[in-house]
Amino acid sequence: MILPPQPPPAAPAAPPSIVTIFAVFARIGLLSFGGGLSGWVFREVVVLRNWISEEEFLSGLALAQILPGTNIANLSVYIGQKLRGVAGAAAALGGLLSGPFFAVIALASVYDRFRNIPYADAAMDGVAAAAIGLLLIIVLRGTRHSARRPAGAVALVATFIGVGVLHVSLLIVVAVVGPLSVLAAWLGGRADA
Amino acid sequence: MRDDNVLIALVAVFVPLSFASIGGGTSILAGIQHQSVDVHHWVTSREFVDMFAISRAAPGPGSLLTTLIGWHIAGWAGALTATLALYVPSSLLCYGVAFVWRRHRGKVWHTALEEGLAPVGVGLMMAGVLAIMQLSGGGVLPWLLALGTMALLLRWPKLHPLPLFFLGGVVAVIVRATLS
């Protein structure tokens, strides 16, 4: 599949203000119905605002998934830290959680009525499926990025099959594939030099 | 039980789970259920399932399930305590790692780590997508909706996703109504 051309990397501008970081992540938190939050973050932070590069996003995504904690919370901390240090990380995480915090309690208060709306579950499933489409954009970009090196492609496929198809524990897969993949990248980097 | 004790119990339950949640919130779902239903009797099994459904229907990360458990047993203070207990510890750890990570940017081993871990991250995300698809009832329709949304966003990257999500919901309702 042919992807649209990437915009040229912009020169690093002044980092956004704390208020802006909070506002952007609050929007991500509130708009992210049906999951797919990483997709929203990618869109808002990389595609629309160019706050961090695609490479940095992918490396942060890997860290966010490997470390304990909700992926999206970790990703927000990672991006906030890069933009404005401690205050940036706190603003990103606080923004991300503040809207959904109240929304989930509000929804719980009206849940019994909501549940009786006909086809409410079908609608939710449809929204969730469409939200996956947003995630698939990252999968596609990340695959293209990783497949530049044969070892990267192998690591990607091995991780996916191990966790997604064979249902091997994530910890084991990461502990086996991770170091091998890093070693391959290190040897590859030395060969280039 | 006095309120203070409940709040302390929430912290005692959710802080360890925060550090245990490797691979995201879904990995500690079983742990949350065990602690809040079987051990502490904060909620019944039925309430737990309902809260899980609510947290999936609401915007934001699915682990806001813990917010609901806190709210259920101790009101606003409980909701806030449970949320912070689950998110702050793992976030502090992530901050520390991200800080060290960035200080070494550009070094050979850092580049190798970055290059080596990125495909693992993408592979995990693919596996997550597959898991969610299997969870949502399966069938061809969710895949068509997901791929259709992806195709539209690839063609027009600045398209706002919300109308597309709405469209996905409408199509799913129409299909369900037609089939039943």
Give residue-wise pLDDT tens across range A125-179: 888 788 888 889 889 988 998 889 999 999 999 999 998 899 887 778 888 998 9
Band (pLDDT 50/70/90 cuts) for residue B55 is confident
> Residue B162: its pLDDT value, please?
82
Q: How far apart are CA B62 and CA B49, in angstroms?
A: 13
The interface predicted TM-score of the complex, written ipTM, equals 0.79
- The dihedral region occupied by A43, where left means phi > 0, alpha psi between -120 and 50, and beta the remainder, is alpha
Chain A: closest CA distance from residue B10 (Å): 17
What are the C-alpha distances in Å from B136 to residues A43, A123, B139, B170?
24, 12, 9, 16
- Using CB atoms, pick whichever of B61, B119, B129 lies closest to residue A159: B119
Within 8 A of A64 by CB-CB distance, chain B residues are 94, 121
Q: How many Å apart are CA A191 and CA A187, to the nearest integer?
A: 6
For the record, the structure tokens of A11 come out as: 């020169």
Q: pLDDT grade, residue B161 (50/70/90)? A: confident
Give, to the nearest 10 degrees, the angle between helix B65-103 and helix B45-57: 50
Looking at residue B23, its pLDDT comes to: 60
Cβ pair A34, A135 in contact under 8 A = no
Residue type, B135: L
- Token match 């302390």: residue? B8
pLDDT given for residue A13 in this prediction: 64
Cβ distance B122 to A139 less than 8 Å, yes or no, reads yes
Report the C-alpha gap between B61 and B130 in whole angstroms. Answer: 18
CA atoms within 13 A on the CB side of A105: 21
Domain ranges of chain B: 1-103, 136-180
pTM of the model as a whole: 0.78
Fill in the amino acid letter for B45.
Answer: S
The pLDDT of residue B24 is: 63
3-state helix, strand, coil in chain B (%, to 5): 85, 0, 15
Residue A1 pLDDT more than 50? no
> A67 to chain B, minimum CA–CA distance in Å?
6
What whole-number distance in Å separates Cα of residue B132 and Cα of residue B141?
A: 14
